[in-house]
Structure 1
Amino acid sequence: MVPPVRDITAQGYDLQFGTNVLGHFYLTKLLLPALLDGSKSSPDGWARVVNTSSAMAGLGKKINFDTLTDTPERKKQIAWQLYGQSKLGNVLFSDELARRYGHDGIISISLNPGNLRTELGRSLSKFEAAVIYPVLHPVHLGALTQLWAGTSPEAVSMNGKYLVPWARVGKTRPGGDDSSKLSGELWTWMDNQVSNF
């Protein structure tokens, strides 16, 4: 979480976006045939994809596509902006997956697991850690929302929803209530990026 801005993936993508969003998109794309088949043989008729986002997804309502690869524009950003953008990307990807495949038996849910005392903050400055760590929850609570989204019978009615701690539908959602245009643009961009992998 929030590594130095100079860090990029081997393919030249912003490290946070490449790791948090593009990698998840590619894995999901590779698994789509199994997910579609699995929904047909599942006892409840559904396969589930759960994308973990963050409260930081609310930092912005757009994706700055000029910052997703190693560009001068990306280097002008601060690490927290890039992290928040990657977490917004998780929500938008999940939304678009729900739109495209919900009618085919795939439930896609994005969520904020809560602000937790984990090692994800190892790149934080001492000042940031001193401010943030006192208000974080114990790490064992972090799995509650993901487990509920992935296993609860009630979650089958949550396709396209954004959940907050502890397994509740968020009152507001990152990207705004109608982010379908942006989620479609992001999907197309990611699909183009992974076409040569």
Structure 2
Amino acid sequence: MWPPLHQISADGYDLQFATNVMGHFLLTHLLVDNLKAGAQSLPEQKSRVINTSSSANYLTHRIDWETLVDGPKRRAWFSTTEALYHQSKFANVVFSNELARRYGDEGIISISLNPGNIKTELLRHKSSVIQYLSQYVLYSATYGALTQLWAGTAPEAAACNGMFLAPWARIARPNPCTDDPAVAKKLWDWLEEHTL
């Protein structure tokens, strides 16, 4: 989370977008046939894909397409690692919603969520002051998986296709801009072009 701007993926993509969005998309794409088959073999006739976003999805209202690949705009003074993180978490929700639209009727349940503010090593690139202050507002890592586990295993979560969960497994409303079908199609097309 929030790596230095000079850190990019091996293919030249913003490291956070490559990790948080492109990797999830590619893995899901590779598993779609298995997810559909798995859904047919289960009594509830559903498989689940859980996309971990964060509260950062509320901190932007769009994807700045020019910053996804390393270049002048991504490295500009106004492009911060925080802003790049926010848009990756925004895109997690957009992708999850589109996956729900495309495959929900084939038994694939797609849920995005905010796991909560958890104490992990993800703040290692931040200043020591931020790291020190964070310890007073972050929850123990033992809480970090609660929402994901509920989304992936609770019988009630099978009815949550296309929904967003907040800590601790509560249905919530994500950033309203994440539900724009035009943005979702553009993201899906971009991801197909850059990962497949």
Q: TM-score category by the smaller chain?
A: over 0.9
For residues 189 and 91 of structure 1, the distance between their equivalents in structure 2, rounded to whole angstroms, comes to 15
> Aligned residues, how many?
194
| Structure 1 residues 158-173: aligned runs within 5 Å | 158-170=160-172, 172-173=173-174
Percent identity, aligned pairs only, is 49
User: Where does the alignment leave 5 or more consecutive residues of structure 1 unmatched?
Assistant: none
User: C-alpha root-mean-square deviation of aligned residues, in Å?
Assistant: 1.1
Aligned pair partner of 1:150 in 149, 152, 166: 152
User: Where does the alignment leave 5 or more consecutive residues of structure 2 unmatched?
Assistant: none
Greater mean alpha carbon deviation, residues 107-116 or residues 117-126 = 117-126
| Structure 1 residues 47-126: aligned runs within 5 Å | 47-76=47-76, 77-126=79-128
C-alpha contact (below 8 Å) 1:145/1:165 kept by paired residues: yes
TM-score normalised according to structure 1 size:
0.95
TM-score normalised according to structure 2 size:
0.96
Question: Cα deviation per residue 1:170-190 (whole Å; 9 max; x = unaligned)?
Answer: 1x3125364222111101100
The AA in structure 2 aligned to 1:13 is Y
How far did residue 113 of structure 1 move? 0.2
SS of alignment partner, residue 169 of structure 1: strand
The residue aligned with 1:27 is: 27
C-alpha contact (below 8 Å) 1:107/1:156 kept by paired residues: yes
Q: Which runs of 4+ in 1 moved over 6 A?
A: none
Question: Cα deviation per residue 1:115-139 (whole Å; 9 max; x = unaligned)?
Answer: 0011111111112213322100111
For residues 112 and 46 of structure 1, the distance between their equivalents in structure 2, rounded to whole angstroms, comes to 22
